[in-house]
Amino acid sequence: MATVTLTPYKTPELFLECTTITPDAFCGKAPQEIAELEVREGKTKLRMGDYFHVEGKAGKTPEETEIQILGDCTRVKYIGFKMTGGAITVNGNADMYVGGWMKGGKIHVTGNVHSFCGIAMEGGEILVDGKAENYVGCAYRGDWRGMRGGTIRIRGSAGNDIGTFMLGGTIIIEKNAFIHVSTHAEGGTIIIKGNVEGRVGGQMVKGDIYVLGEVQYMLPGFQKIEQVEKEVDGAKVKLDHYIGDLGERHPKSKGKEIYANLFVRAT
């Protein structure tokens, strides 16, 4: 795997939109060509080279290309936008839309990410060592086709609206989350290892949620049916099994209605 390093040397006055920081855009290009790729600050079109020193070598295909960002990207949006393969490592924080509409490959952010991390993701992996803000793995505004595949793991906490309209894939939040988890979801799995304040699984049709901490306020549309023991992300836990959202429509399979499942650590 060939590695390209980007070293940020200038902080943009506004936020920088870098839909071109992807193995797909970099592959097959020399560092000078990569430096010519378009980035945007507001409505101004600029070059990648105006903000980053570009070094190293890109692979022939996205799969053979790794991008190392050696520095903070707190003001950089859209890292890994629509990427299909390869790897990106951000050594520091990143702003919004990390891995948005991503189809494959890996993104590792060692710091925190802002909102919309993994929005409408279809495949691949995102790992964030720090915390995430809102809308992890959610759908685009208005769209009913949310995250379809892939894995997002946030080692810290996350904000609200996690996995809205989720259809597939896995989201793991290792610490706490705020409100609105899997709203309108019709598939996929969300694991929250800490506590959630509430509104978990509102209008959820299908899919699974695991909360290994506490749900402070349960929604009335979920009904407890049994206690189970399950392995969740490598650990065995005793869980209360709820089904819901009983206020929402549910598809039928072999004459039986399919509900969404919410598992909360048994007390």
Could you tell me which residues come within 8 angstroms of residue 244 by beta carbon, excluding any fewer than 6 positions away? 201, 204, 219, 221, 222, 223, 259, 260, 262
Taking the C-alpha atoms of residue 14 and residue 36, their distance in angstroms, rounded to an integer, is 20
**Closer by beta carbon to other proteins, 33 or else 143:** 143
**Closer by beta carbon to other proteins, 237 or else 258:** 258
> Minimum CB separation from other proteins for residue 23, in Å?
20
**Closer by beta carbon to other proteins, 98 or else 177:** 98
Helices first, then strands: H and E counts in the chain: 2, 22
> Minimum CB separation from other proteins for residue 120, in Å?
9
Amino acid at position 129, single letter: D
Taking the C-alpha atoms of residue 30 and residue 13, their distance in angstroms, rounded to an integer, is 28
**Closer by beta carbon to other proteins, 249 or else 252:** 249
Residues at the site binding other proteins, with contacts judged by CB under 8 A:
140-144, 249
> Minimum CB separation from other proteins for residue 233, in Å?
31
The three-point CA angle 145-120-115 to 5° equals: 130
> Minimum CB separation from other proteins for residue 155, in Å?
30
Asked if residues 100 and 120 have their Cβ atoms less than 8 Å apart, the reply is yes
**Closer by beta carbon to other proteins, 144 or else 217:** 144
The DSSP letter of residue 33 is H
> Minimum CB separation from other proteins for residue 144, in Å?
6
